[in-house]
Amino acid sequence: MTAQTMHPDGTAGVVGLVGLGLIGGSLGLDLRARGWDVRGLVRRESTAERASQRGLAGRVSTDPSVLAGCRLVVLALPLDQLLAPDPALLAALPPDAVITDVGSVKAPVLRTWQGIVPRFVASHPMAGTAEAGVEAGVRHLFRGRPWVVTPTPDTDPAALELVRTLSEAVEARWLLCDPQAHDRAVALISHLPVLVGAALLQAADRGAVAAPASGDGQAGYEQVDTEARALVRALASSGFADTTRVGGGNPELGALMARCNREQLLAALASYRRSLDQLEGLLQQERWADLREALAAGQRLRPEFL
Nearer to a second copy, 135 or 227 (CB): 227
Residue 299 CB, nearest distance to a second copy (Å)? 5
Give the whole-angstrom CA distance, residue 80 versus residue 174: 25
Of 186, 159, 153, 194, the C-alpha closest to 264 is 186
Nearer to a second copy, 158 or 188 (CB): 188
Angle at 206 between CA 204 and CA 208, to 5 degrees: 65
Residue 198 CB, nearest distance to a second copy (Å)? 4
Give the whole-angstrom CA distance, residue 182 versus residue 101: 15
Residue 22 CB, nearest distance to a second copy (Å)? 15
Residues 6+ apart with CB under 8 A from 49: none
Residue 114 CB, nearest distance to a second copy (Å)? 9
Within 189-305, strands assigned E span none
Nearer to a second copy, 133 or 251 (CB): 251
Residue 245 CB, nearest distance to a second copy (Å)? 5
Nearer to a second copy, 10 or 298 (CB): 298
Residue 190 CB, nearest distance to a second copy (Å)? 6
The residues with which 74 forms a beta bridge, in sequence order, are 17, 100
Cβ–Cβ under 8 Å, residues 169 and 147? no
Cα→Cα distances 63→20, 88, 282, 300, Å: 14, 9, 62, 53
Nearer to a second copy, 138 or 185 (CB): 185
Nearer to a second copy, 91 or 213 (CB): 213
